[in-house]
Amino acid sequence: MKPVGLFGVGLAAALTASAALAQQDHPEFPPGPGRDTVLSICSGCHDLNRLTAGYTPRGWLTVTNMMRNFGAPVSDGEWDTVRAYLIRSFPEKPRPPAVLVPGPVDVRIMNWPLPTPGSRPHDPMSARDGSIWWSGQLANKLGRLDPATGKFKEYPVNPMSAPHGLVEDRDGNVWFTGNFRGFIGKLDVKSGEIKEINLPDPRAKDPHTIAIDHNGIVWFSVQAGNFFGRLDPATGAIKLATPPTRNARPYGIAINSQNVVYFVEFGAAKIATIDNDMKIQEFQLPDPGARPRRIAISPDDMIWYSDYARGYLGRLDPKTGDVREWPSPSGPKSLPYGIVSTKGAIWYSESGANPNTIVRFDPKTEKFQSWAIPGGGDIVRNMTVDRDSAPIMANSLENQVGRVEVKD
């Protein structure tokens, strides 16, 4: 998807195609009022299997708010029917109960509800001034919270941008990925002005996670497009590289103490590193079923990853290629996701557990400790660390940002 105008045409075409689809049989979509609208509209931008995953009634309210924010063309009068149909047809599937492990560390988890309902805060960011930011992916906004005062400020980005990853540069600008329209954006925080730099290859349509290295170079993953990108902010020049693995789905990114860039491949059991010449080297994980989704690097430059598919915390030693794994407390279906290294430990969230958890792993004792996220969390897709070294999260369906205050 390139410019907004073009996108409109694309959406219209997609919706015509999906109206035809609605005529076909979809046995998993039971009859009832709202069905035709759902089949024709809800396949316009993504697969219909996004719906059959199922949600609680409250979850469906959030989802329909999100789709409405993002411009799904359902008429105002019809949303109630659509929502009722979805609630009736696709209830939440059973999830494993959170297994909470007691331990020696005391934390307080704070959450702040965000001003725009259904904004789907995808990634959190912590700025040097102590503010907590988020990408309001489906509200097309970037947001800022001053946790000391509780005051919010939202910065609109262009329609259909679906901002995803975000990161602060040395000058206090916020760089983000325009996930739905294939661009890298730069928000000038002082003026609110946004610059968009389009990716040079139309196949690189979904820029995803973003990070800035020690030299100020901007790196980003392109998940479905299967690219990894490098942007020089001085010139705006972008280079793209494709991993050797087909459908590798580059995902989470982290940079080590020596300024080496690592990323995980969510479509494979692999972790990769890339250099300034765009050469990619891959590390194979021992279990072919592993699907590392996010990555964190500890001060000793060990690489930690959340294995979403198997419910493990993993550690790769990039010097030797050795891998160690620990089963996550809430089990194989716990869906470990956002992860950070801070305060001498690894912290991550189990996004499948009910409620979602914050898990702490002490690399010295190899012991877990975990807590329920108040309100359920409901999908911490990414985490970061603030200037006081506290883990920061965005709870995407709960529409909150949160902070884990660790009592020393």
Q: Which positions touch ligand HEC (CB under 6 A)?
A: 38, 41-42, 44-46, 50-51, 63, 67, 70-72, 74, 82, 86, 120, 162, 180, 396-397
Instruction: Identify the CA nearest to 261 among candidates 307, 229, 233, 225.
Output: 229
Least Å from the CB of residue 193 to ligand HEC: 24
| 40 Cβ contact list (under 8 Å, min separation 6) | 15, 18, 19, 21, 22
Nearer to ligand HEC, 59 or 233 (CB): 59
Nearest CB to ligand HEC, comparing residues 9 and 148: 9
CA 266 from chain centre, in angstroms, equals 12
DSSP 3-state of 363 = coil
Least separation in angstroms between CB 54 and ligand HEC: 9
**Count of CA atoms in the C-beta half-sphere (13 A) of 219:** 24
**Beta strands 367-372 and 357-362: pairing type?**
antiparallel
How far apart are CB 230 and ligand HEC at their closest, in Å?
24
Q: DSSP of 279-293, one letter per residue?
A: -EEEEE-SSTT--EE
**Nearest-approach distance from CB 111 to ligand HEC, in angstroms:** 17
Residue 375 DSSP class: G
Query: Shortest gap between Cβ of 135 and ligand HEC (angstroms)?
Result: 11
**CB-nearer residue toward ligand HEC: 111 or 161:** 161
Query: In the bound complex, what is the minimum distance in angstroms from residue 207's beta carbon to ligand HEC?
Result: 13
Q: Which is nearer to ligand HEC, 178 or 314 (CB)?
A: 178
Nearer to ligand HEC, 335 or 390 (CB): 335
Max Cα-Cα span within the chain: 61
Nearer to ligand HEC, 60 or 262 (CB): 60
Pick between residue 74 and residue 145 the one whose CB is nearest to ligand HEC: 74
Contact status, residue 25 vs residue 62, Cβ threshold 8 Å = no
Q: Least separation, in Å, of the C-beta of 190 and ligand HEC?
A: 29
Instruction: Please report the DSSP string for 245-302 in residue order.
Output: STT--EEEEEE-TT--EEEEETTTTEEEEE-TT--EEEEE-SSTT--EEEEEE-TT--
